[in-house]
């Protein structure tokens, strides 16, 4: 999330392009609130507010940590919260 909103980030262009491509396919990013909190701490205020507005517009599907284990990788393995 930091790379998406910190335009000076080395990975910004790549992640921005990836999410735009996924959005055209009707796909959204999955995230949890702890990830948003951490990204918010690393972003400057203008980027932080843009991140929160982006989430409010529904660009990200927020899942709770308890429900996160329901989502699976293509090989059937569970995601892990690190």
Task: Judge whether 26 lies within some domain.
Answer: yes
Q: Name the pTM for this structure.
A: 0.72
Task: Judge whether 82 lies within some domain.
Answer: no
pLDDT given at position 55? 93
Task: Judge whether 22 lies within some domain.
Answer: yes
pLDDT given at position 29? 87
Task: Judge whether 80 lies within some domain.
Answer: no
Query: CA 23 to CA 56: how far, in whole Å?
Result: 16
Task: Judge whether 77 lies within some domain.
Answer: no
- Residue 40 is part of which domain span? 2-68
Task: Judge whether 37 lies within some domain.
Answer: yes
Domain count across the chain: 1
pLDDT in tens, 22-45: 889 988 888 888 899 999 999 999
Q: Does pLDDT of 81 surpass 60?
A: no
Task: Judge whether 62 lies within some domain.
Answer: yes
Mean pLDDT across the stretch 16-24?
A: 91
Task: Judge whether 6 lies within some domain.
Answer: yes
pLDDT in tens, 46-66: 999 999 999 999 889 888 766
């Amino acid at each position: 999330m930091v790379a998406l909103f910190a335009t000076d980030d080395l990975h910004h262009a790549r992640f921005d392009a990836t999410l735009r491509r996924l959005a055209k396919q009707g796909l959204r990013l999955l995230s949890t609130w702890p990830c948003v909190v951490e990204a918010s701490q690393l972003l400057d205020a203008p980027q932080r507010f843009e991140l929160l507005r982006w989430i409010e517009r529904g660009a990200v599907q927020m899942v709770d940590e308890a429900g996160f284990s329901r989502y699976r990788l293509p090989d059937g393995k569970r995601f892990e919260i690190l």
